[in-house]
Amino acid sequence: MAETSTVKKKKAKRSVPTGQLHVFATFNNTIVTFTDPKGGVLAASSAGACGFRGSKKGTAYAAQVAAERAGQTVKQQYGLGKVEVFVKGTGLGREAAVRSLSNLDISVETIKDVTGVPHGGVRPRKSRRI
């Protein structure tokens, strides 16, 4: 039997100068995702993935740590310099995640709130009678 080994080529380092930052901030956790302009994920992190557990996941500090971790990965691997920020949710990590980008020298082009707002929605529960 002849042993055949395939040589894997080193993947070319992709340069993404501009991208998007999606911050999903709930009361229980904050999820930070860096994407390219088309929406393909480059790096993601969350407060839970950074070692925070329980009620500490919903804090602004946890969101800051998550954003810094994902930001460092994107800066080193892809050379990201400018981002458009899309914020969703009502948690404490909304501003903290965006503010932490200034520590990484990533400039913020625009900030857009894409939180879903119900219009109509489901039928409300019956009124309480005492």
Tokens of 3: 């042993």
Structure confidence at residue 17 (pLDDT): 83
**Average pLDDT of the segment spanning 51-60:** 93
What residue type is 92 in one-letter code? L
Contacts of 48 (CB under 8 A, 6+ apart): 29, 57
Q: To the nearest 10°, the Cα dihedral for 108, 110, 114, 119?
A: 160
**Average pLDDT of the segment spanning 46-58:** 93
| Mean pLDDT of all residues belonging to the chain | 90
* Residue 2 banded pLDDT, cuts 50, 70, 90: low
* Residue 8 banded pLDDT, cuts 50, 70, 90: confident
The residue that leads in pLDDT, 80 or 16, is 80
Percent helix, strand, coil in the chain, to 5, is: 30, 25, 45
**Average pLDDT of the segment spanning 83-93:** 93
pTM score of the predicted model: 0.82
Residues linked to residue 87 through DSSP beta bridges, in sequence order = 23, 113
Tokens 């529960």 -> residue: 125
Structure confidence at residue 1 (pLDDT): 61
**Which CATH number is correct for 18-113, 3.30.300.10, 3.30.420.80, 3.90.1150.10, 3.40.630.10?**
3.30.420.80
**Does 12 have pLDDT greater than 70?**
no
**Does 59 have pLDDT greater than 90?**
yes
